[in-house]
């Protein structure tokens, strides 16, 4: 669950950006995985979206919620997609 | 070829770009902006995309379709920005030697696109309200 404090650039899209009020922010997080980043930003911004329908990318590569995050990473949080 | 654009999609131009002497036919899918969703009147749609990953994931989808249903040419274009009722939001075209591959590859590409590509759709309703498609529904589900 926990890791050491890391500086993460978190980018928000669509509904997440509206919840956060910003498109991106640099945060110091005690996060080991992408899921930790999601949960901590979710608490921070009061978002109720469950992660099950959302997607995550790390440094412009699609990732899994269990993917590890490193100091300096950019984590992109995608709410449920709806193209077409 | 996969593309994201804020400009009007020229379907005829896209179709011409599929020309291939070996093609015996082509199949396309056009996604249009509809005036209702889930019983609510919709005035317009707003699409947002994260282009770098739409392109990267889109290329994977086209490659998967090629492996499953060997086609000759395939193209996909998705609009972003504010769209009005009847506007063309997405265009998929596939040319192949025989029709079966064209139909199946086209279907595969649009289905995967809708599920996997980082594209979001906000509906602007006739009553002045607006909402992101799929998002509020998931949130409601989570609270049950």
In chain A, where are the structural domains located?
Answer: 5-78
> pLDDT tens digits for A59-77?
999 999 999 999 999 999 9
Q: Is pLDDT of B138 > 70?
A: no
- The residue that leads in pLDDT, B66 or A44, is B66
pTM of the model: 0.92
Q: Which helix (H) or strand (E) holds A29?
A: strand A24-30
Name chain B contacts of A48, Cβ cutoff 8 Å: 139, 142-143
**What's the pLDDT score for residue B6?**
98
> pLDDT tens digits for B75-110?
999 999 999 999 999 999 999 999 999 999 999 999
Within 6-25 of B, beta carbons closer than 8 Å to A belong to: none
The chain B residue lying nearest A77, using CA atoms, is B118
> pLDDT tens digits for B19-66?
999 999 999 999 999 999 989 999 999 999 999 999 999 999 999 999
- Whether B125 has its CB under 8 Å from any CB of chain A: the answer is no
Q: Shortest CA distance to B61 belongs to which of B35, B92, B82, B89?
A: B92
**What is the bridge-based pairing of β-strands B119-125 and B130-132?**
antiparallel
Q: Which of A49, A62, A83 sits opposite B113 (nearest CB)?
A: A83
Under CATH, which architecture does the A5-78 domain have? Roll (3.10)
Containing domain of residue B88, as a range? 2-143
**What's the pLDDT score for residue A46?**
80
Range in A37-46, B23-32, B86-95, B135-144 with the lowest mean pLDDT: B135-144
B36: CB partners within 8 A, 6+ apart: B42
**What's the pLDDT score for residue B35?**
96
ipTM of the complex: 0.91
Interface contact A81-B118, CB threshold 8 A: yes
B82: CB partners within 8 A, 6+ apart: B44, B45, B46
B35: CB partners within 8 A, 6+ apart: B41, B42, B43, B85
Total domain count for chain B? 1
**What's the pLDDT score for residue B142?**
44
Which CATH number characterizes residue B63's domain? Answer: 3.90.1170.40
**What's the pLDDT score for residue A22?**
96
pLDDT band with cut points at 50, 70 and 90 for residue B136: low
- The residue that leads in pLDDT, A13 or B136, is A13
Contact status, residue B138 vs residue A47, Cβ threshold 8 Å = no
Instruction: Look at residue A63 and give its three-state secondary structure.
Output: strand
């Amino acid at each position: 669950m926990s890791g050491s404090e890391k500086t993460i650039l978190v980018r928000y899209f669509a509904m997440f950006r509206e919840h956060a009020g910003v498109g991106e922010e640099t945060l110091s997080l005690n996060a080991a995985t992408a899921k930790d980043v999601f949960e901590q930003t979710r608490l921070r911004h009061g978002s109720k979206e469950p992660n099950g329908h959302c997607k995550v990318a790390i440094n412009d590569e699609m990732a899994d919620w269990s993917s590890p995050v490193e100091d300096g990473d950019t984590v992109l949080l995608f709410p449920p997609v709806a193209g077409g | 070829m996969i593309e994201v654009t804020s400009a009007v999609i020229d379907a005829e131009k896209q179709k011409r770009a599929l020309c291939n002497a070996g093609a015996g036919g082509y199949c396309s899918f056009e996604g249009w902006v509809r005036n209702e969703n889930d019983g609510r009147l919709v005035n317009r749609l707003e699409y947002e995309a994260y282009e770098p990953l739409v392109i990267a994931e889109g290329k994977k989808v086209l490659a998967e379709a090629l492996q499953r249903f060997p086609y000759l040419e395939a193209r996909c274009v998705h609009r972003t920005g504010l769209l009005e009722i009847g506007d063309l939001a997405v265009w998929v075209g596939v040319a192949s030697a025989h029709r079966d591959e064209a139909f199946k590859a086209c279907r595969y590409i649009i289905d995967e696109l809708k599920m996997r590509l980082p594209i979001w759709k906000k509906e602007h309703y006739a009553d002045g309200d607006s909402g992101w498609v799929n998002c509020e529904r998931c949130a409601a589900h989570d609270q049950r």
